[in-house]
Amino acid sequence: LCRRACAASSLTGRCVSSVGSHQGKAQTRESVRAQEPAEKIFTDAQRQEFLDQGYLKADREFLTASQRTDVVEWAKDLRSWPETAGKWMQYFEKRDGQRMLCRVENFLQYHPGATDLVRGKVTAAISELMGEEAILYKEKINFKLPGAAGFQPHQDAPAYVSFGMKYHVTCLIAADPATAENGCLEVVPGFQSLGMLPHPDGEIAPELDAKWEAEGRWKKVLCEPGDVVFFDSYIPHRSARNRSKDMSRNIYYLTFNPVTDGDRRAGYFSTKRASFPPDIEREQGKDYSEGAKIFNVSNPIPVR
């Protein structure tokens, strides 16, 4: 069997049936939980920085040289996958009347390499920052292609409250350079301490965004391919549109919850697929704006 057809084995210990190079059928899966590292990943100072600032850019060596190469190649691979109902979930934005790939979600069970990376050091690192065992909640890769829209100022936490969950930490892995020109992540350090902020129309109030802008509080998090950044679900963040002519900004976002809140990944994607499905599964002419209130916060993805 091809490696992608066996991808679920990394999650379940089982192989899956092969139907072409991308189209393995996932079986019952186990949780993506940490494999205990031999030693601590972060220093005390780094852990304190994460607590104080709400985010932490890891050392360049967090990923090995080969892993840094892998995440770049995997992004190219994921971008090439065909739209397939009932499996990985692809979302598009509209640009000049044309569809532009914006995101792929729910792909780990079809991608053994990415699963091994997430299940290993990434989960262990998140657990260390949380101070308790972490478990994967959801995964996505955002393809911000040249000309693509940005993401409005927001916190992640409001989108999770409806699931009865209060805290998450996300691992960002850059598969491209993330620059001011192509729309890198921007954060307001330390403002996770404010707790949940109002989100009229699904984003942080424009006057608050403008105030932070005037005060110079927004900080650009520049990245090279293979760089890793951790941020919690209460830190305000945004990203500008990709103003470059030929430079994509592909970034993985791996979000975790404390294991004490349960294994929610399958339920999350099942609910999202029903309420805000990918294009290939949508009913023509149906309005998905209700589901968008939870699953499309501050995103450029159309609701119909």
Angle between helices 44-53 and 123-130 (to 10 degrees): 70
- Find all residues with CB under 8 Å of 147, minimum gap 6, and list them: 95, 100, 241, 242
Judged on CB neighbours under 10 Å (0-12, 13-18, 19+), 185 is: buried
pLDDT at position 273 is 97
Question: 23: which residues sit within 8 A by CB, 6+ positions away?
Answer: 5, 84, 87
The one-letter code for the residue type at 218 is W
pLDDT at residue 121 in the model = 95
What is the C-alpha to C-alpha distance for residues 114 and 92, in angstroms, rounded to an integer? Answer: 22
Counting other chains too, the contacts that 62-66 makes at CB distance below 8 Å and 24 or more residues apart are 62/121, 62/125, 62/228, 63/117, 63/121, 63/173, 63/226, 63/228
In the structure encoding, which two tokens stand for residue 247, read together? 């430079």
Contact 68, 225 (CB under 8 A): yes
Contact yes or no for 111/22 (Cβ under 8 A): no
Residues of the chain with pLDDT under 70: 1-38
Q: What is the pLDDT of residue 182?
A: 96
**Under a CB-based contact definition with an 8 Å cutoff, are residues 139 and 106 in contact?**
yes
Query: Could you identify the residue written with the tokens 């990376």?
Result: 117
Indicate the residue type of 156: D
For the stretch 25-81, pLDDT in tens is: 343 334 565 555 558 999 999 999 999 999 999 999 999 999 999 999 999 999 999
What is the per-residue pLDDT for 34?
A: 54
In the block, tokens 């829209």 appear at 149
Give residue 35's pLDDT.
56
135: its two tokens: 């478990």
